Every structure is written in structure tokens, then in C-alpha cells.
Amino acid sequence: MHPSKPKVLIVDDVEANLVALEALLGDLDCELIRAADGNQALKLLLKNEFAVMLLDVQMPIMDGFEVARYAREHPTTRDTPIIFLTAMHSTEDSMLRGYGSGAVDFLLKPINAHVLRGKVRVFLELFTQRRRLQDEINAHKKTLEALQDANAALRHFTDAASHDLKAPVRAMRGFLDALAMEVGETLPPQALDYLQRSVKAGERMDSLLDSLLSYARLQRNQATTVVRFSALLDQLRADLREELARAGATLKAEPELPLIQGDPDRFYQLFQNLVTNAIKFRRTDVPLEVSVSAERYPAEALFCVADNGIGIDPKHQSRIFQAFFRSDTQGKYKGSGLGLAICQQVVEQHRGRIWVESQLGEGSRFYFSLPLS
């Protein structure tokens, strides 16, 4: 906040003119500051922020045109509005010289009081509004900095917690696996059921921690390079060879997909999540087919990852990109509820958008747009 009144600089080498200006402007909500010559005016400009300067043209040593020119050349004073006050007959040359030196207006002496007060009032209002806007901007900056600090702390906590939890979960799963191998066959049915449930719970916890780590890593600075999606999908197909084989699934892609500027690791994660989701939510009566295609437009490429899986209920489609949302309320399918949230983050970090079109029993088509390199 700025409790002080906006300042108006009046510059004239004649004392009587300064007194007259103070009388005309005295009841305005501002602080009037005098300068008796150009040098004094420039010194005051450097020390204060003025809503407007009323500048006499005819002064000895340094006239008003020179004062305006020097003021415009200095970065801290170049934006101060200047109104020239002159008793000279207004010629085209003098007007051009005045505006060329940085004036926003000319007023001829004797000054019309109503015109002068009206113009000064306008600049006072503009100055007050600009100051208020700057205060709001500064407040928003502080809020943003606080949010960024909180977000950074949360990312650090998530990353550290996920790493720290991985070790005990891994140990727990190891002991459970060893227990199942050594004494599993000797356990009564109820105890064996408890053991199997514990193993599955450990697997879910491990999967959730992996997803949390992936989600946390998205908040770090991303790499930027030209990404060749055709090569990226070849690598993904090789990495998922066993999962695709077990599901009897095929992953096809257009041979020449558009080149995109971005982070290859994050794009890999995007496609990996979409393809593994398709494998997870496949139909049992038909072989799974996943295809990747793209359409080129002048400024962007529109990608589509399509499958012939079980589809998504339209009532859930507006929420599936929310973190931890699961449409499978009965726990039939494994997952953390973060896969599609990660996909959305990756796309939005690359200045794109993502959405889905799907019907139950008819598969899904995930579309996302990305700016072309």
C-alpha cells in the first residue's frame, strides 16, 4: 500500500508562475513539488515518482525541451508524463519538437484553469490506478512464491517418502514370498488366504509408490529435445513384449509420426501408461489391438491412442484424469489411480491438452494435441 499522495512536479523559473500553479491545483488530492530550473527538476525526477510534470518551455540555461529529452533518456524517468506550459505562439515546428522530446500535451499561457485541472486530474487517476495495479501484482507474486515454495516442499516430501517407503515394502514382499514358498502348502485355508491377500496388498503398495515417484518426478525441470515418437514406440513395444504376449495384444503405430520438441522420458511414460491401461482394461472375447496415429495441422499435431477394450462409461470420462480417481470401485483391476493424471501432466507441461472418447464395450480413443517443432 502507498499512504502518500501522488506527486506533481511544477517547473518554472518565475516565482509568480509557481505560486499561480499551486493556487490552481492546491485543492487536488496530490502533493505539489516545485522546481525553479531544469537542473533542479531533473534531480527531483531521479529522487521521486511523479504522476505528471508541468514543465515551462522558456527557461534559461536549460529550456523545457532539453529537460524533457534528458528525462526521456533516463530509464527511471522516461515514463513520467510531461505537459508543456508555454507562452510562445504555437507553431508546427515547436509542437513537433515538444512531442518529439516526450510531451503528452501542450497548454498555452495564460492557462485555462478548468483545462489544466482536468488534465492533471486524469494523470492523478491513472497514476493511482497504476500504483494499485502494481500493488496487486506484487501481492500475487508473493502468493505465487509462497505456493511454489509449498509445492516444492510437497514434491520433496513425496519423493523422499516414496523412496523411504520402498525399502520396507520391498523387504515385506520378500518375506511374504519366502513364507509362501516355504510353508504355504502347509498352511490351513484361512491362513493361506490371509497370506495371499498380504502378498497382493504388498504388490498394490509397491505399484502405488512407483506411481507416486513418477508423479513427483514430473515436477522437476524437464529435458527438451526433438522426440521421434516412432523410435520411442519401438522401444516401448520391446519393453512391453512379455505383457503384450500374455494379453495376446498388438501395438501398431503409423510409420512416420510427427517430430515434437520435448522430454523423451516423459513422453515414453505417457505412451506407456496409455498402452498398459489398454492391456489392463482389455476384453476377453477379442484380441486386444492398440494403435497410435497422428494428424498434422499448421501449428500442432493431434495424436490418438486407440484400443478395442472394454471402454469407459461416459459418466466417468470427465473425472478419469483426476489423481487417485478409480472408476473400478470393486477393485477388479489393479492400479494406483495416478496413471491418467500423469498423462495429463505430461501433455500440459508440453503446452497441449488431452481428452478421451469412449463407449462401453466399444474401446477407447485417447486424443492429445502437441505443438509441432
Domain range annotation of the chain? 7-111, 146-217, 225-371
Cell triple for residue 3? 499512504
Structure confidence at residue 23 (pLDDT): 92
The pLDDT tens digits of the residues spanning 85-98 come to 887 655 555 666 66
Ordered DSSP codes for 189-248: HHHHHHHHHHHHHHHHHHHHHHHHHHHHHTTSPPP-EEEEHHHHHHHHHHHTHHHHHHHT
Per-residue pLDDT at 231 exceeds 90: yes
With beta carbons less than 8 A apart as the criterion, state whether 37 and 18 touch.
no
CATH top-level class for 225-371?
A: alpha beta
Summarize the confidence of residues 338-359 as an average pLDDT: 91
Question: Cell 529529452 sits at which residue?
Answer: 69
Residues in the chain: 373
Q: Please, which residues bridge with residue 204 across strands?
A: none
Per-residue pLDDT at 300 exceeds 90: yes
The pLDDT tens digits of the residues spanning 245-292 come to 999 999 999 988 999 999 999 999 999 999 999 999 899 889 999 999
The better pLDDT of the pair 165, 266 is held by 266
Mean residue pLDDT of the chain comes to 85
Give the predicted TM-score (pTM) of the model. Answer: 0.53
Topology annotation, domain 7-111: Rossmann fold (3.40.50)
Residue 351 has phi, psi (to 5 degrees) of: 60, 40
DSSP 29: S
The better pLDDT of the pair 47, 209 is held by 47
Cell triple for residue 354? 488431452
Contacts of 6 (CB under 8 A, 6+ apart): 29, 30, 31, 50, 51, 124, 127, 128, 131
Rounded distance, CA 48 to CA 9, Å? 10
User: 3-state DSSP call for residue 91?
Assistant: coil
| CB-based burial label for 105 (10 Å; 0-12, 13-18, 19+) | middle
User: 3-state DSSP call for residue 108?
Assistant: strand
How crowded is residue 95: how many other Cβ atoms within 10 Å of its Cβ?
A: 14
Structure confidence at residue 94 (pLDDT): 60
